[in-house]
Structure 1
């Protein structure tokens, strides 16, 4: 059986922690920022842990991470 290929687009966007959780950057910080509060924009800078089916789907795309 041949080696599985890593999905390079997903590899650039997601990271798997040592315990196996998938982290990703939060969305919504690219444009239309004037109507968002400073507190909201500050929280969007942090990464988040994906839950449930989202994390499972990413792990399929990243077989060796």
Structure 2
């Protein structure tokens, strides 16, 4: 069985990129991509950071507190 979760996350990232040639800051998007791929690997469930920019806020607040 082939795991396509990385491809799914990258596809979501590509959907967030503007198609009109405008400049975009990729750093926050790559950070959200990293959170989604790492959380799916560790917890078997993505945080959904690429779906919603605030989806991972509670997790990150708790992580930094710990």
The TM-score bracket by the shorter chain reads: under 0.3
* TM-score calculated relative to the size of structure 2: 0.25
Name the structure where helix makes up a greater proportion of residues. 2
Q: Which has the larger radius of gyration?
A: 1
